Amino acid sequence: MNPVLQTLMLACSEDDRFETSGRVLFIGAEPHPQLIGLSGLTAWQPLKPLAAACDAVGMTRVGALPEGRWPLVLVLPGKSHDEVLESFAIARDRLEPGGSVVIAMSNATGAARCEKEFAKAAGTVTSLQKHKCRAFRASDDGSWNEKVVETWRGLSGLHEFGNPAWVTRPGVFSHGRIDPGSQFLSDHFPAFLHGRAADLGAGWGFLSHAVAARCRGIRSIDLYEADSRALECARVNLAVRKRDDCQLDFLWHDVQTGLSASYDVIFMNPPFHTGREKDIDLGRSFIRVAASSLSRGGTLLLVANRALPYEQALDQAGLAWRSVAENQSYKILSATRRSS
């Protein structure tokens, strides 16, 4: 089990409110035996694989960040610093007067520093350390420093950059900038690509826009993305750059579970991290799924850091591949199904 979750639940078991409050909001929810069957629980989780894990054990989960006030708010913050501070603001704004917030983070993600930042607003904070993690909690006793909370709120939600503007938000991949690998791939999309396309791990929509803009023969793009916050940004970004003759579908989906359709073109900048950990198997599984969803004669285009060993994964997936371009940091690979 995730040690951060274990530490959070340990802190909860020392908090009377967990048994008595009846109503609990869990931001960044993950499944835990103590939460199964808890009737007053409201769980929110933007990442599809974790949301599906909550559903699988019957935890009450909501799709959108809920509004309201709770006597107890639990938080497992995400990995970027802005996202951590945003989650503090989200928790604060959903706390009943007198209510408690309990937050857990691993030491490796800067738990001690974040606890100090949290204390700047919350004042008295109690904490426990276990499993190389830290859980810290505070109650709303009416003395929180609202100026500090206001700076957290300022980091929250959609932010614009570029001209014409793109929107991104804390926690999504490549917040506030275009990823250089994706930029490199977008410069190399062959204009002749056509038909039905899929963008695997679509993020906030940069690559889908690039394909729609450059490849006029592309008639539809299915954007598959596990992070509902990124998909929300993609919807906004592509609504203002819409091509009337290209249908877009935004799918909150775990690509590792497979795709329900087949495609003439699949493109991606595959993920290779789960949380903060490097996870090259995640990229390899994207390749396997793409290979099984390519139409006859279909093309897979991907960009990756030069050091990532995806050529072998393409071979193993039964694809014939070639290198399209390389620069100092990235490579672009194009693949088609080997004729049997």
Ligand X SMILES: C[S@@+](CC[C@H](N)C(=O)[O-])C[C@H]1O[C@@H](n2cnc3c(N)ncnc32)[C@H](O)[C@@H]1O
Binding site for ligand X (CB under 6 A): 49, 173-174, 179, 182, 201-203, 206-207, 224-227, 230, 254-256, 269, 271
C-alpha gyration radius of the chain:
22
Q: Helix crossing, 146-155 with 111-122: angle to 10°?
A: 130
CB of 9 to ligand X, least distance (A): 25
Q: Which is nearer to ligand X, 96 or 254 (CB)?
A: 254
CB of 246 to ligand X, least distance (A): 17
Q: Which is nearer to ligand X, 138 or 259 (CB)?
A: 259
Q: Which is nearer to ligand X, 271 or 298 (CB)?
A: 271
Q: What are the φ/ψ torsions at residue 291 (nearest 5 degrees)?
A: -60, -40
- What is the Cα–Cα distance from 170 to 237, expressed in whole angstroms? 16
Both tokens assigned to 261: 């359709």
Judge residue 97's burial from the number of C-beta atoms within 10 Å of its C-beta, 0-12 exposed, 13-18 middle, 19 or more buried.
Answer: exposed
Q: Helix crossing, 206-214 with 228-239: angle to 10°?
A: 30
H-run or E-run covering 194? strand 194-200
Q: What is the identity of the amino acid at 120?
A: K
| Cis preceding-peptide flag for 271 (omega within 30 of 0) | no
**Beta-carbon contacts of residue 252 (< 8 Å; ≥ 6 apart):** 48, 225, 226, 228, 231
Q: Which is nearer to ligand X, 59 or 172 (CB)?
A: 172
Which candidate, 241, 197, 237, places its Cα nearest to that of 221?
197
Both tokens assigned to 205: 């929509």
Residue nearest to ligand X (CB): 201
Q: Which is nearer to ligand X, 113 or 177 (CB)?
A: 177
- Does residue 238 contact residue 173 with C-beta atoms inside 8 Å? no
Q: Which is nearer to ligand X, 91 or 172 (CB)?
A: 172
CB of 277 to ligand X, least distance (A): 12
CB of 226 to ligand X, least distance (A): 4
Q: Which is nearer to ligand X, 75 or 198 (CB)?
A: 198
CB of 271 to ligand X, least distance (A): 4
Q: Which is nearer to ligand X, 49 or 68 (CB)?
A: 49
CB of 83 to ligand X, least distance (A): 12
Q: Which long-range contacts (CB under 8 A, 24 or more apart) does 174-179 make?
A: 174/203, 174/204, 174/206, 175/80, 175/82, 178/206, 179/203, 179/206, 179/269
- What is the Cα–Cα distance from 275 to 254, expressed in whole angstroms? 15
Q: Which is nearer to ligand X, 50 or 246 (CB)?
A: 50
CB of 302 to ligand X, least distance (A): 10
- What is the Cα–Cα distance from 253 to 134, expressed in whole angstroms? 31
CB of 165 to ligand X, least distance (A): 16
Both tokens assigned to 39: 């009737």
CB of 231 to ligand X, least distance (A): 9
